[in-house]
Amino acid sequence: MKFKNANVLIGNQFIEYTSFVIQKGVFTEVNEGKSFAEGEDAVDLQSDYVVPGLIDLQLYGVEGYFFGGEPTVENLRGMEDDLLSRGVTGFLATVATSTDDIVLKAIAAAKDFRVHSKGAFLGLHLEGPFLNPKKRGAHPESLIRKAKLEEVKHWVKLAEGEIKMMTVAPELQDEEVLSYLQQNGIILSAGHSNATFAEAESFLNKTITAGTHLFNAMTALHHREPGLVASIFEKRIFSSIIPDGIHVDYAIVKLAKRELENRLFIITDRVASSSSGIYRHKFKGDHYAMPDGTLSGSALYLLEAVKNCVQFVGIPLGESFAMASDYPAQVIGLEKRIGNIKKGASADFIVLNKELQIKEIWFRGELLT
């Protein structure tokens, strides 16, 4: 199919009057600011925005499908269908600190679902249990522990590539564990960490290449004890942030963006209501909390998060969308395949009107809505 007169996001800039071709599920031609020859048949998008499918590297479920609490194939399928309907064409299903049984169930569900997935499910993100109890947030202290090499070897071998990312407190882990995980292609992200500035300097941009929900559950920025946040700023590693105005004030999102620029990306950290299991999230209107009132996950979807970055932080529209597509794709090394509109990439894209309302969602060259 051919499309013309689109306002297409290329990198972090919108290019007007762009035309493109999709064939066999990929972009085969992208003509920046150019149309086809006179008379060639093409869909006229009439200057609508066209952005890559969005990518969420950390969420636990959607309402009705809480994979993080009940890691089943059914919940993965429900997550994928719901997210695709909202323009999220790539996601890591996340499991927080849990029992060994829950982790093994998540690995089994991911492997079983792989052959049934439509392709938006990219794998697992394990946020814990190898965290620092001093920065546990909503994670149960009784289940947080130091990683053992034999344990992580067992998980990695059993997962057969389904574990894509892990959030750990690096200051408490043995170097041989971190090195093993990195050598097996798992992105390691510092989070729920009480690392000092000096400790962070020793592992950032080495075994640890990302930061998890910046500012939340990590040593704060302080003028005498700069901590993990200051080291992340200095080392300029990719770091996620939750732009809901609750987990992080928008003024702080603005500060982080100024410091990290194209290394800051959006996650939703979305959870779902649950009345059983370890995580009994209660919906509070604009966020979720544990029964004792501890802030847990957000109620965001990625498109809403992008709009928040534009409206409340003042980040340009193109850059805000890149924070939810190109940059997370770079984090997991898939930027050549997803998160971008360019020749050879998967034809995953959203058509939006000037009010940023979704008009069409395309996934692998097929119109979903």
- The CATH number of the domain where 45 resides is what? 2.30.40.10
* Vertex 51: Cα angle to 247 and 324 (nearest 5): 25
Statement: the pTM of the whole predicted model exceeds 0.75:
yes
3-state secondary structure of 84: helix
Question: Are the CB atoms for 124 and 164 separated by under 8 Å?
Answer: yes
In the chain the first and final C-alpha atoms are separated, in Å, by 16
30 lies in the same domain as 166? no
Are 10 and 83 part of one and the same domain?
no
The pLDDT value recorded for residue 233 is 97
In this structure, are 20 and 95 located in the same domain? no
Residues 92 and 116 in one domain: yes
269 counts as catalytic = yes
Residue 240 CB-density burial (10 A; 0-12 exposed, 13-18 middle, 19+ buried): buried
Which pLDDT score, from 0 to 100, does residue 199 have?
96
Q: 38 and 150: one domain?
A: no
Residue numbers of the domain that contains 85: 54-331
If DSSP codes are grouped into helix, strand and coil, which group holds residue 271?
Answer: coil
Q: Are residues 312 and 347 in the same domain?
A: no
Q: In this structure, are 12 and 89 located in the same domain?
A: no
258-275: per-residue pLDDT in tens?
999 999 999 999 999 998
- Whether residue 185 sits in one domain with residue 130: yes
- Helices in the chain by DSSP H: which ranges? 73-84, 100-114, 149-159, 175-183, 197-203, 227-235, 250-260, 302-308, 317-322, 326-331
Predicted pLDDT of residue 9:
98
Same domain, 10 and 127: no
> Would you mind telling me the total number of residues written for the chain in this entry?
369
Q: Which of 48, 244, 269, 348 is catalytic?
A: 269
**Number of structural domains, the chain?**
2
**152 and 26, same structural domain?**
no
Statement to judge: residues 110 and 227 lie in one domain: yes
Which residues fall within 8 angstroms of residue 284, CB to CB, at 6 or more apart? none
What CATH number is given to the structural domain containing 321?
3.20.20.140
48 contacts 16 by C-beta, under 8 angstroms: no
Is residue 252 domain-shared with residue 312, that is, in the same domain?
Answer: yes
Whole-angstrom Cα distance, residue 90 to residue 104? Answer: 23
Residue written as token pair 């269908």 = 81
- Single-letter amino acid, residue 272: A
- DSSP secondary structure letters along 45-70: -TT-EEEEPEEEEEE--BTTB-TTTS
pLDDT lower than 70: segments of the chain: none
